[in-house]
Amino acid sequence: MSQRTERRGIHVDQSDLLCKKGCGYYGNAAWQGLCSKCWREEYQRVRQKQIQDDWALAEKLQREEEAAYASSHGVQTQSHSQSAAPHSGQATLGTFSKFEEKKTNEKTRKVTTVKKFFSPSSRTPPKKENQEGKTTSPSVSRHASFETDQVSRDFVDFLKNLQKPGREIHKQCRAFIINMSSKKDLGADELSECVQDFYQSMSDRLMSHFKGSSESVEQVMDQVEKYIMTRLYKSVFCPETTDDERKDLVTQNRIRALHWVTIQMLCVSMDEEIPEVCENVVKAITDIIEMDSKRVPRDKLGCITRCSKNIFSAIRITKKEPASADDFLPALIYIVLKANPPRLQSNIQYITRFCNPSRLMTGEDGYYFTNLCCAAAFIEKLDAQSLNLSPEEFERYMSGHASPRFSSSESNWLHPGSKPGVTATNPVLAQLSDNLELLSSLSSRQESLMEAAKNLQADLLSWPESVQQEVHDILEKYPLEILSCKVSAIDANNMDNDNLPPPLTPQVFTG
Amino acid sequence: MAAGGTGGNSGKTYSFKVVLLGEGCVGKTSLVLRYCENKFNDKHITTLQASFLTKKLNITGKRVNLAIWDTAGQERFHALGPIYYRDSNGAILVYDVTDEDSFQKVKNWVKELRKMLGNEICLCIVGNKIDLDKDRHVSVEEAESYAESVGAKHYHTSAKLNKGIEELFLDLCKRMMEMAQAEERLKGNGASQSASSRRGVQIVDDEPQATPAGGCCSSG
Ligand SMILES: Nc1nc2c(ncn2[C@@H]2O[C@H](COP(=O)(O)OP(=O)(O)O)[C@@H](O)[C@H]2O)c(=O)[nH]1
Ligand SMILES: [Mg+2]
Ligand SMILES: [Zn+2]
C-alpha cells in the first residue's frame, strides 16, 4: 500500500502509530497517541474524576456543617426532624432533580453524588427552614430552601477555586451562621454589630491573604455576604424586636395620602409625554418594587441602582444633558411616590444593617442607596413648603377636599379656556380623564341595559297572562263540544256512502 | 471615620468619599464635570449622569479611588444634608464669587459639618466663577481668613476656564491621605478602633472622638 511505503520512508514503526490502548485503530499525537474513541473515553474519565473529587469535597464540607449545626441544635432538631424531615427532604430532592434535568450531558455520575449530597438524611438546612417558616405555605418554604441550597452550592463552587483558603472561609462562615442561630433574641443593632464584625474580620484576613488586592477581597466578600445573608435573611429581616414593620405601614399610608402630588410640584425634569421617558419611568418603578423580593443586601442595592439608571436615562432624554443631583433626587422621590415600594423602611434598615460596608461608603450603589434614604426622609417630612404650596392648599389636598387637578391655581398645566380637568396636558391626567369618560359611558350603557332588562322582565311576567287570555278568548269563540263528537259514527259524514254497494248480507243455502 | 484606606502596607489603595455642598447654581456640577470629563457646558457630554463620578489617582506611589458625590442644592433638600455627608472623608463647599448669599450658605454648611462630624472631615471652601472677577461680591481676604478660622482650606476656581480645579482635588486627596495615615498610626498604637470607622451608614456616634493633633486640616 502506498500509505505503508510512505511511513516506511520516514522510518516510523507502525506500532507507534497504533492506539496506545491497543484497540487496533490508529492513534493520533494530538490525542496523546490514542484513537478518537479511546481518547474520548479517557478524557471523560479524567473529567468525571475531577467532577467527582469536587463534589466529594463539597459533600464533606456540607457534612461538617451539618454535624456542627446538629451539635449546637441537638435536641430541638432531632425531635423536629421526625415529623418534618421526610417531607422537606422529598421536596428538596424533587425540586432538585427537576433542576438537574435541565442540565445537559455528562452528568450521570454527578447526579447520584448530588442526590446523596441533598438526601434527607444528610440535610439540615431544610429542617431549619421549616422550623422558621411555620407560617409560610409549603410552596414558599420549598422555594426558599431551594434558593438556599442553590446559594450554598454556588458558594462551595466558588470557594473550590480558592482551594485551602476556600475551605477556611467556608468553615468560618458556617461557624458564624451557627453562632448567629443562637442569638435570635438579640436586638437588631446587636445583630448588625455581629454581622459587621464578621465582615470586618473576614475582610482583614482576606486582605492579608491576597496581599492587599482589594478587588480579590471584594469578590470573595460579595460571595460571603450572599451566603450568610441568604441564610440569615428570615430571622433578621424586619425582626420583631424592632418597629420596622410599623414604620413600613406608616410610610405606606403616607405615600397613599400623597397620591395627589404631581410631577410639577416636585419640579422633576422628566417629560412623560416622550414615550421613551415614559418607558424608563415604568421600568424605574418596577425596579424599585422588585427590591423587596431580593434577599441579599447587594441584590437589593442592585435594584436601586437599576432604578436610578432608568431615571438618569429619562432625565437625559428630557434635558439632553447628564442628570445632576438637583435633577436626580426629585425624580427619585417622584418614582418612590408612584411605586409605593413594599416594606420600604424595612428594606432600607436591612441594607443599612447587613450590607458589606465598603459598598455603602464609597461605591456607586452606595450613592443611589443614600439618595433613596433621602427620598424616604423627604417623603416622611414633606409639607406645604416642600411643594411650594400654601398650608391651606396642602391641607385641602391631604384631606381629599380638593384635588390639584381641578384647582384653578394649578391651571398652568391645564389648557386655559377648556373645561378644567378634561384636557389635561399631563399624559397621566389625560389618561385619567379618558378613563373617567370611558367609565361614565360604560355606566350609561349599563343603565340602559338595566332598563332593557327590566322591560324584558315585565314582558316575561305579562306574557303568560296574555297567552292565557288568548287561549281563553279562543275557547270562548270555539267552544269545545266533546259530546257532539261520537266515536260510534266513524263514517257518519261519509258523503260517498250512497255510492257504495250495499253491505254484504249473509245468504242461507239449503242443502 | 476618615480611614478609607484599605490594604496591606505595600499595594495600598485609598478609597475616599467627597461630598459637594453649596447653594444651587454656584457651579458644583460644572466643577466635577470639568474635573472628571474635562468638559464645560457641553451638550455632547457622554456620561449618563453627573451626580456620582469617580476618579482614580496615583499620589506618591499610592493609589487613590476618589468618589465624588454631588448633592441636591435646592433649599427644600437642605435638611437631608446629614444623610449625604455621613462617612465622608472630605467636603467641598462651593460658593459663587459673584454671589454674597452663596458664601453665607457655605458658612452655614461649615457650622453644621463641624457640629456633626467634628474634625474628622477635610473641608475645602471653594470660590467658583473667578472668570467673572469684575462682578466679584465676596472679597478674597474675607473668604480666606474665614476659611483659616474654621480649619478649612480655601481655593479659587473657574469651571469655565478650568482654573484651580486639579489643584483643589489633588490637595484634598493629599490631606485625606494624611488624615487616614494619622488614624492608622493611632490604631497601630493600640488605641481602640472606633466602631464607626468600619461602619457604613451607622450614623453619628456621640462620644467625642480623639482626633490626631496636627491633623491635615490644621497643617498648612
Ligand atoms: N462664568 C462661569 N460660569 C459658571 C462657572 N461654573 C458654572 N457656571 C455656570 O453656572 C451655572 C450653574 O452651574 P451648575 O454646575 O449647574 O451649578 P450647581 O447647581 O451648583 O451644580 C451654569 O449655567 C454654569 O454654566 C464658572 O466657573 N464660570
Ligand atoms: Mg448641580
Ligand atoms: Zn483505541
Q: What is the pLDDT of residues B179-219, one digit of tens each?
A: 999 988 887 765 444 444 443 333 333 334 444 444 444 43
By three-state DSSP, how is residue A276 classified?
helix
Q: Same structural domain for residues A257 and A395?
A: yes
Q: Which amino acid is at A12?
A: V
The answer, yes or no, to whether any atom of ligand 1 lies below 6 A from the CB of B129, is yes
Q: Confidence band (pLDDT; 50, 70, 90) for A185?
A: confident
C-alpha B163: how far from chain center = 17
Ligand nearest to the CA of A36: 3
Q: Confidence band (pLDDT; 50, 70, 90) for A400?
A: confident
The sign of the dihedral angle between the CA atoms of A301, A306, A312, A318 is negative
Task: Choose among A312, A327, A357: nearest Cβ to B198.
Answer: A357
Task: Choose among A313, A368, A378: nearest Cβ to B48.
Answer: A313
CB-proximal residues (5 Å) to ion ligand 2: A 324, 326; B 28-29
- Extract the residue ranges of chain B whose pLDDT is less than 70: 1-11, 189-220
Q: Write the Ramachandran bin of B122: left for phi over 0, alpha for psi from -120 to 50, otherwise beta.
A: beta
Task: Choose among B16, B199, B202: nearest Cβ to A362.
Answer: B16
Q: What is the pLDDT of residues A196-238, one digit of tens each?
A: 999 999 988 888 888 777 788 888 899 999 999 999 998 899 8
A115 pLDDT higher than 70: no
Residue nearest atom 12 in ligand 1 by C-alpha distance:
B25
**What spatial distance separates the first Cα and last Cα of chain A, rounded to whole Å?**
132
B70 is a domain residue:
yes
A24 is a domain residue:
no
Q: Same structural domain for residues A386 and A320?
A: yes
Q: Is the Cβ pair B33, A368 closer than 8 Å?
A: no
Nearest CA in chain B to A386: B76
Q: How far is the CA of B126 from the centre of ligand 1 (A)?
A: 13
Triad A30, A36, A40: Cα angle to 5°: 95
Q: Same structural domain for residues A226 and A251?
A: no
Q: Same structural domain for residues A394 and A272?
A: yes
What is the structure's pLDDT at A29? 77
A370 and chain B in contact, CB less than 8 A:
yes
Domain containing A175: what range? 146-236
**What spatial distance separates the first Cα and last Cα of chain B, rounded to whole Å?**
22
A288 is a domain residue:
yes
Q: Confidence band (pLDDT; 50, 70, 90) for A426?
A: low
The DSSP result for A106-140, as a single string, is S-HHHHHHHHHHT-GGG--HHHHHHHHTTTS-HHH
Q: Same structural domain for residues A232 and A247?
A: no
A275 pLDDT higher than 80: yes
Interface test with chain A among B26, B76, B173, by most A beta carbons within 10 Å? B76
The two beta strands, B13-21 and B62-70, are parallel
What is the structure's pLDDT at A83? 42
Q: Same structural domain for residues A216 and A299?
A: no
Domain containing B99: what range? 13-181
Q: Same structural domain for residues A212 and A312?
A: no
Helix (H) or strand (E) holding A435: helix A427-477
Between CA B120 and CA A186 the distance in angstroms is 31
A190 and chain B in contact, CB less than 8 A:
no
What is the structure's pLDDT at A453? 94
ipTM of the prediction greater than 0.90, yes or no: no
Q: Same structural domain for residues A262 and A367?
A: yes
**Span A468-480, average pLDDT:** 88
Pocket test for ligand 1, best of B25, B84, B92, B105 (most atoms within 8 A of CB): B25
B196 is a domain residue:
no
The answer, yes or no, to whether any atom of ligand 1 lies below 6 A from the CB of A326, is yes
Pocket test for ligand 1, best of B30, B131, B132, B165 (most atoms within 8 A of CB): B30
Nearest CA in chain B to A204: B7
Q: Which of A35-39, A258-262, A445-449 has the lowest mean pLDDT?
A: A35-39
Q: Are B82 and B116 in contact (CB under 8 A)?
A: yes
Q: Residue A388 belongs to a domain with what CATH number?
A: 1.20.1050.80
Kindly state the cell numbers that stand for A309. Answer: 439608571
Q: What is the pLDDT of residues A142-182, one digit of tens each?
A: 556 667 778 888 888 888 887 777 888 888 899 999 999 88
- Residue B4 makes CB contacts below 8 A (sequence gap 6+) with A361, A362, B14, B15, B16, B17, B89, B176, B180
Q: Same structural domain for residues A212 and A337?
A: no
Task: Choose among B7, B73, B201: nearest Cβ to A207.
Answer: B7
Q: Is the Cβ pair A326, B74 closer than 8 Å?
A: yes
**Span A282-307, average pLDDT:** 96
Q: Are B198 and B183 in contact (CB under 8 A)?
A: no
Ligand nearest to the CA of B95: 1
State the average pLDDT for chain A. 77
Ligand nearest to the CA of A42: 3
What is the structure's pLDDT at A53? 72
Q: Which of A83-92, A320-329, A384-393 has the lowest mean pLDDT?
A: A83-92
What is the structure's pLDDT at A258? 94
Q: Are A323 and A347 in contact (CB under 8 A)?
A: no
**Ligand 1 nearest atom to the CA of residue B94, by list position:** 20
Q: Are B152 and B123 in contact (CB under 8 A)?
A: yes
Q: Is the Cβ pair A212, B8 closer than 8 Å?
A: yes
- Residue A159 makes CB contacts below 8 A (sequence gap 6+) with A166, A167, A169, A170, A223
Q: How far is the CA of A11 from the centre of ligand 3 (A)?
A: 22
Q: Write the Ramachandran bin of A479: left for phi over 0, alpha for psi from -120 to 50, otherwise beta.
A: beta
The answer, yes or no, to whether any atom of ligand 1 lies below 6 A from the CB of B30, is yes
By three-state DSSP, how is residue A428 classified?
helix
Q: Same structural domain for residues A181 and A310?
A: no
Q: Is the Cβ pair B80, A207 closer than 8 Å?
A: no
Q: Measuring CA to CA, which residue among B43, A496, A505, B76 is closest to residue B33?
A: B43
B166 and chain A in contact, CB less than 8 A:
no
What is the structure's pLDDT at B129? 97
Taking CB atoms and an 8 Å cutoff, what residues of chain A touch B28? 324
Q: Confidence band (pLDDT; 50, 70, 90) for A129?
A: very low
Q: Residue B72 belongs to a domain with what CATH number?
A: 3.40.50.300
Q: Residue A216 belongs to a domain with what CATH number?
A: 1.10.246.120
Residue nearest atom 26 in ligand 1 by C-alpha distance:
B129
What is the structure's pLDDT at A197? 94
Q: Is the Cβ pair B43, A320 closer than 8 Å?
A: yes
By three-state DSSP, how is residue A56 classified?
helix
Residue nearest atom 8 in ligand 1 by C-alpha distance:
B27
% pLDDT > 70, chain A: 70
Q: How far is the CA of A23 from the centre of ligand 3 (A)?
A: 4
Between CA A270 and CA A313 the distance in angstroms is 9
Into how many domains does chain B fold?
1
Q: Same structural domain for residues A227 and A247?
A: no
Into how many domains does chain A fold?
3
For B:65-124, CB contacts with A below 8 A are 65, 67, 69-74, 76-77, 79-80, 83-84, 87
Q: Measuring CA to CA, which residue among B219, B133, B134 is closest to residue B179?
A: B219
- Residue A311 makes CB contacts below 8 A (sequence gap 6+) with A270, A280, A281, A284, A323, A328, A331, A332, A335
B210 is a domain residue:
no
Task: Choose among B11, B54, B72: nearest Cβ to A325.
Answer: B72
B160 is a domain residue:
yes
Ligand nearest to the CA of B32: 1
Last residue within a domain, chosen from A403, A428, A455: A403
Q: CB pairs below 8 Å between A and B: how many?
A: 129
Nearest CA in chain A to B48: A322
Q: Same structural domain for residues A346 and A283?
A: yes
Last residue within a domain, chosen from A384, A403, A422: A403
Q: Which amino acid is at A319?
A: K
Write phi, then psi, for A196 (nearest 5 degrees). Answer: -65, -40
What is the structure's pLDDT at A69? 59
Between CA A348 and CA A356 the distance in angstroms is 14
For A:209-238, CB contacts with B below 8 A are 211-214, 217
